[in-house]
Structures are given as structure tokens and as C-alpha cells.
Chains A and B, each alone.
Chain A
Amino acid sequence: MFEKKPKLTSTKTKKRDIPSGLWVKCDDCDEMIYNQELIANLKVCPKCDRHFPMTARERISALADMGTFQETNANMTSVDMLKFTGMAAYTERLKTYQRQTQLNDAVITGLCQIRGHPVTLGVMDFTFLGASMGSVVGEKITAVIESATERAIPSIIVAASGGARMYEGILSLMQMAKTSAALARHAKERLPYIAVLTHPTTAGVMASFASLGDVIMAEPKALIGFAGPRVIKETTQQELPDGFQTSEFMLEHGLIDIIVHRKELRDAISKTLQYFAANGGRKSKAA
């Protein structure tokens, strides 16, 4: 079957996304928080506002209008193309993470509505191999942007990444070019793209689609940067400035548009999209 529309399957938040144990201790303020309360609070500490890590499925439930999310490329999985022979085989790592996270790879993509705005949404999940970008992440992100371009709707990506998918070698690097290429075409059609940076967003993801948003939003106190702080310290033999590579640091240096509290994120996105659509949306290029 040759079909333009991506395969649609619905995704529900699963019970297993909820951390086991009734109580969770906040690393920042030492408060013991009742787990149900933490979840109800979008995984934000009620006492100190620390943003706890969120899985992709939790994020989608928090952003997409109820019942609107239709997943695309849900069954796409990685291939051990290079037959990577290291201390641990890639295929084994994949199996372990698939079992642990109930994800096929480090991103979930799909179509949904955010406060009534039809958008495509891609959400990376740090719990799967540190949200490293391999062929699957690159392909799903590229496809979901292309799908937004075809439908003439905005594209939203919630980014996270700890580094490259080394097991896929150079093909991992090439995903940076591929995803940015899709954004080039999307931008040429004057269609909105919003990047949301979460803890942590670094390396190749940061040096491609995460840095290319028309509007770039970040969650508070996320680690955001290109090179890892340890690498920088070793290379330069320099002390790093206070708050280096945090969302707040990025904002102060003029590198992101806005820091948004997780509870405000859905509003911030929908209001921004409202502005972009206010005067009939894209302006004719011939004007």
C-alpha cells in the first residue's frame, strides 16, 4: 500500500510509567512527596518547583488534547547496521532498553491537537539510551516534520538528548543533516516550528533541530549545550561559570526565547500558535 498518511495508532498512558513506591524524595529540597501528588502535579515538586524527568508518554498526555494523539511510525526499531562490536552488543542494549522503557526507541511521534490547534508532535525520551539520536530517531523526527509540511500545520518537538548513538556511527551523525533538511523545507513554506528543550538537551540534537525553532522554549534548570561540561573542563583547563549550560544561562546569553514552567507549557505553545495563525497564517512569498 502506498499511502501518504502515516499509520495512526492511539497511545494511552500506561500504568508502568508511574514510578514504583508511594513516596519520592525531591533531590533539590529533600521533601518527601506522595507519588500520586507528584504525578498529578505534572512531576513538578510542589514545594520547590523542581521539574522531575518526564517520560515521552507522560509528556504527550500533558500536552495533547485528550484523545487526539495518533502515533506515527510506532513500530519502527533500530538495526545493528555496523554490527557494532564493543563491550556490549548494540542489539542487546536495544533489547534491554525496550524491555525497561516499553518504548521501541528514543522518540514518540504523531499527530494531535494542542488546545484545538492541529500539530505534529515529536517527544524524545531520555530513559531510552539517553535519548541518543540514531536512524530511528532521525527518521521519525524527519518524517513527522515532513508530515507537518505536507499538511501545512505547525510542528512541535520536545527535545532531550545526552549524546550520539555511537553504535550507529556516522549514520547517527547524518540524522542531524536529515532533520535539519526537513526543517529547511518546513521553514521555506513559512510554517511554524516550536522547539521545547528539556533536561538534558545536548550534542547532535542540540546542533540540529533543537536549535532551529522559530520559537525556542526551555523548561527551568535544564542542562542545555553542545559539548559536555566535563569535556569542556578537560579541554580548556578552565573553571566553568556559575550556572553554565542551564536554561537560565541560555536565556541570559540570548540563545533561547523563553523559559516556561511545565504547567504553563501547553498554554505557551497554543498562544504562540494563535499569533502565528492570527492574520491567516503564512504570508504569500510573492507579496
Chain B
Amino acid sequence: MRIYTLDFEKPVVELEQTLESLRKQAQEQKIDLSAQIKLIEEKLDATRKEIFTSLTPWQRVQLARHPRRPYMLDYLQRIATDFIELHGDRRFADDHAMVGGLATLGAHRVMVIGQQKGRDTKENLMRNFGCAHPEGYRKALRLMQLAEKFNLPVVSFIDTPGAYPGVGAEERHIAEAIAVNLREMMLLEIPLVAVVIGEGGSGGALGIGVCDRVLILENAYYSVISPEGCAAILWKDRAAAPQAAAALKLTAPDLQELGVVDGIIPEPLGGAQVDYDASAAALKAAIGKELDHLQTVPLAELLSARYGRFRKLGVVQNQGTRSQTRKPRARSVNS
């Protein structure tokens, strides 16, 4: 039985319930309902396809936030062996909204970092709903630099509504913690792979996202501001979040077109929460493929490609000629 249902999932859930009761009835009363069951099964398949192959951006945002969606540790449980969690920023605290540690992903020994949400109220209080404080970003950087020291690639799992907006976070300089990560990740002499597995919430996501390759799960999103926040400012109404979600171009296909992500990892029909194992297998395969490749790239090339990857993001026009921004050497400024 599902614990939680999104509005647009309801037709699917209703059919699932009908199917279940038919099966129960058939078993208990020992009658043959296979014809009816087959009919409902077909209808269920068709309904699933109809709903989940034409998701609106806002529906994807809701799926990305689905309370049953697999989180970083759910994936690690399935794709990693010998995980040794490492704690703390060695300065102030251990931020439970940011998890990190040594892990073996198939053939690769790596450092993993990423935000972790809670599954229930108690766990969410501990995980702060996946909203890290400065300590989280500093822990992540400490672990990435540790990885660099011993030549281990880093895999970063992005899943946060955003960095935490609080008094303590400001007092301990959340802005600087993120900024320093952006600068230092650019120079790390190891391969870096990021995957947006759920919510890619603004600077809090980017703070662990400056990587050689940035992947995204099919229904995850990555945005400069939450649709609600954008709606509140530009529509003066949080209820306009669905319109804002569409306007922000925050879905995986949009992000790929903009060059912000390099690849999309497919999810089971209905979303990653429908089948944890299948989602994890797809994730593992995609990460493995990137690591296999990145480990063959010479260091100088790796670093200059990382710089170039972010350097070109943005669109400007100069005296009426539109261009994607490029390295200054290649730009004809005077023409």
C-alpha cells in the first residue's frame, strides 16, 4: 500500500487498488477473475504510460520531492560496498544533511559526498530536510581534498532544496563555504562526477556540483530558485509555482539542452520510487561509465576541460550578435 500519493498519481493508485482487491477476491473465493484482472492490468499499463510519459515540469518537481524517492544512502546501500562514513568538518560540527565517506562502486574506489534527506519527522530533524549548513560544505571539501591526496575520484550526489537559510548558517558564513567549494573544486586534481538524484536546489546544489561530468536522473530538477520562490517574486503568488517551474527550464531535458548537464539517467516508469533496485542499477552503470572514461583522461586535459565546461555556460550578445560565451582567446571582441 502506498503511504503517499501525488495528485496526478491517483488514477494509477486507484487502478492498483482495484487490481489488488480483484486478486484478493479471486484467491479468497477461489473464482476465476483472470479476464477482469488482465483488463485492469492493461488499463494500468496504459494509464501509467499516459501520465508518466507526458509529465509537466511541475509534476517532475513533485516527483523529485516524492517522500518515497530514494535518497543517497538508499542508493549507496545498493551500489556501494565497504562504505566507510567519515564525519565532521574538523571545525565546528558534523552536518548530518551532508554525508560523505569512502566507498567502492564496482571496480572503482571513490570518495562519495552528498546531501541526505530524512524519511520521517525524526530523521528529517536530524538531516535538516537535506539543507546543509556551512559545516556540511566544509566537510564535503575536506573529504574531496582527502580524496585528492590519495588519488581517489569523487562522486557527488546532489539532493537538496537548498543550503539552509538560518542565523547560525549566516554567522558561520554559508556564502563563503559555498564560494570556496566552487573555487577549490575547479582545481582538484582528480576526476569528479556529480549526479542530481532529486532536488538540485540553487547554490546549495552547486556547492558540491562543480564536476567534470554532471548527470541527472530523469525526474530530478536543478534550478536557480525553487518554483515557489520564483512564483512568489515574479508572479506575486506562490500558487503560480507550476508556471514558474515551466518558465525556469529546470527539467532534465531542458538542462541537457542548455549544456548544464551532460547526461540523463532513466528512471522506471512512474519514478525512481517505484523500483529502488532498478533505479540504483541504472545509476551505478552511468557513474561507472563516466569514471571509466575520466580515469583515462590526462590530468592537464581534465582540468582544462572542467574549466571550459563551466566557462562556456551562459548566453550573451554583443552588438546584436548572439553567442554562447566562450574562452576569451577564441572570442573576436573587436569585430
Contact = CB atoms under 8 A, between A and B. Distances in A.
B167 A73 contact: no
B316 A135 contact: yes
Given A82-B249, A135-B325, A244 B167 contact: yes
Interface residues of B, number: 64
A145 to B, nearest CB: 10
Nearest to B170: A225
B183 A187 contact: yes
Nearest to A234: B165
Given A170-B250, A181-B310, A231 B230 contact: no
A180 B183 contact: yes
B260 A227 contact: no
Given A77-B317, A139-B316, A236-B167, A7 B184 contact: no
Contact of B203 (A143, A176, A228, A255): A176
A171 B234 CA distance: 18
Interface string B175-217: 1101110111011000000000000001100110110000000
Contacts of A187: 183
B322 interface: yes
Query: Size range of the interface on A?
Result: 35 or more
B311 A178 contact: yes
Nearest to A172: B224
Given A86-B234, A177-B313, A253 B171 contact: yes
A94 B234 CA distance: 15
Contacts of A212: 176, 179-180, 183
B53 interface: no
Interface in A71-107: 73, 75-79, 81-82, 84-88
A171 B180 contact: no
Contact of A76 (B206, B223, B255, B317): B317
A255 B134 CA distance: 13
A187 B186 CA distance: 12
A199 B113 CA distance: 35
A166 B225 contact: yes
Interface stretch (B32-40, B87-95, B151-159, B326-334): B326-334
A227 B310 CA distance: 24
B106 interface: no
Contacts of A164: 202, 224-225
Given A85-B247, A241-B167, A206 B322 contact: no
B313 A178 contact: yes
Contacts of A5: 333
Interface of B: 163-167, 169-171, 173-176, 178-180, 182-184, 186-187, 202-203, 206-207, 209-210, 222-225, 230, 233-236, 243-244, 246-250, 255, 258, 260, 307, 310-311, 313-319, 322, 325, 328-330, 332-335
19 contacts: A2-B330, A3-B334, A7-B333, A82-B247, A85-B243, A86-B244, A87-B235, A135-B315, A136-B314, A139-B314, A164-B225, A166-B225, A180-B186, A184-B184, A206-B179, A212-B176, A226-B169, A227-B166, A238-B167
- 4 closest Cβ pairs, A-B complex: A227-B165, A135-B314, A180-B182, A226-B175
